[in-house]
Amino acid sequence: MKKLTEQPSFINEFLDELTVNVTEMFRDPSFWRIMREEIIPAIMLNHKQFKIWHAGCSSGEEVVSMCIMLKEMGILHDVTIIATDLDVNILERAKQATYPVKNMELNEKNYIRFQGTRSFKDYYREENGNAVFNKDLLMNVSFRRHDLVTGDIFNKFDLVLCRNVMIYFNQALQNEVLKKFHESLFKYGYLAIGSKESLIWCDYANRFIVVNNEEKIYKKIKD
C-alpha cells in the first residue's frame, strides 16, 4: 500500500483500472436532439454566452459531441466548456480527441440518428487506425481533474451534464453530489443525468423541476 501513496503516477494507473469509463459519441441521440431543439435555445433566450460543465467526461466523447452540436448551431464561440474527470489518464485521452477508427461506426450511427447536419467524417481525419478530431472543435474547452466526491465548487454554470457517473455512487454520495451540482448551477440552469439514473430520493430533488423525464433533464428552480 505504501507504493500507492508515494507514487502519484502509480495511483493514476491504478485508478484507470478501477474507474469505469466506457462511452460513445451522441449516446442516446434523442437526448442530443432535445439539447439542440429545446435546452440550448432556452438557455440562449437569456444569455448569449454561457457555460457548460461536463462532470465525469471520461475520454471526451460527450464533449466532442457537444462541440459538434454547438458548431452546427453556429454558437461554438459563445460557449465556455469545462470538462472534468477523476482520472488523469482518461483526461489525457480526452484532450487528444483521438479514438480508434473502429469506434466510428457506432458514433456515426448515433450522429445520423441525432440528425446532424453534416457528414460525420468531416469532423476527423484518419491517422494510423485512429480518428483524430479537429482541434478547433475543442478550442473553448478546458479539461481538469476534479473529484466529484471530495472536490470543491469551482464555478457556476448554465448547464451541467453528469451522465452515467452517479451510477457508481451509493445513494448517500449521490445526495452529496447533487448538492454540489445545485450550488454549481445558476438559478434556472439545467442538469442532465443518465437516462436510467434518478434523483427522486435526493434531499435536493425538490429544488429542481423535471424538464424532460425521458431524457432526465432537470432545471434548478430554487436556491
Partner 1 sequence: MSKYNLNNSYKAVVIGGSAGSFQGVVKILSQLPKGFPLPIIMCLHRLKHVRNGFVEALSIKSVVQVTEPHDKENIKKGSVYLAPANYHMSVELGLYFALSTEEMINNSRPAIDITLGTSAFVYKEKLIGILLSGANKDGALGMKNIHDRGGLTIVQEPSECMIDTMPRAALAATKIDHIMKVDQIVEFLKELDKQYR
Q: What residues make contact with partner 1 under the rule CB under 8 A? A: 20, 22-23, 27-30, 109-110, 113, 164, 166-168, 170-171, 174, 194-198, 201
Residue of 163, 169, 164 whose CA lies nearest to 149: 169
How far is CA 208 from each of CA 153, 198, 220, rounded to the nearest angstrom? 18, 12, 4
Binding-site size, ligand SAM (CB under 6 A):
21
What residues between 26 and 65 interact with ligand SAM by CB under 6 A? 27, 56, 58, 62
Site membership for ligand SAM, residue 163 (CB under 6 A) = yes
- Nearer CB in complex with partner 1: 2/196: 196
- Please pick, from the candidates 127, 147, 183, 203, the single residue that binds ligand SAM as defined by CB under 6 A: 147
Query: Are the CB atoms for 221 and 188 separated by under 8 Å?
Result: yes
Residue of 135, 195, 123 whose CA lies nearest to 166: 195
Residue 195 interaction partner, one of partner 1, ligand SAM, none, beta carbon < 5-8 Å per kind: partner 1
Q: Which stretch binds ligand SAM (CB under 6 A): 65-73, 129-137, 160-168, 212-220?
A: 160-168
Task: Give the whole-angstrom CA distance, residue 90 versus residue 155.
Answer: 22
Residue 207 interaction partner, one of ligand SAM, partner 1, none, beta carbon < 5-8 Å per kind: none
Length in residues, the chain: 223
Residue of 57, 14, 54, 12 whose CA lies nearest to 35: 54
Residue 19 interaction partner, one of ligand SAM, partner 1, none, beta carbon < 5-8 Å per kind: ligand SAM
- Kindly give the pairing relationship between strand 141-145 and strand 50-55: unpaired
Query: Are the CB atoms for 133 and 100 separated by under 8 Å?
Result: no
DSSP 8-state secondary structure symbol assigned to residue 215 = T
Residue 115 interaction partner, one of ligand SAM, partner 1, none, beta carbon < 5-8 Å per kind: none
The residues binding ligand SAM (CB under 6 A) are: 19-23, 27, 56, 58, 62, 85-87, 90, 147-149, 163-165, 168, 194
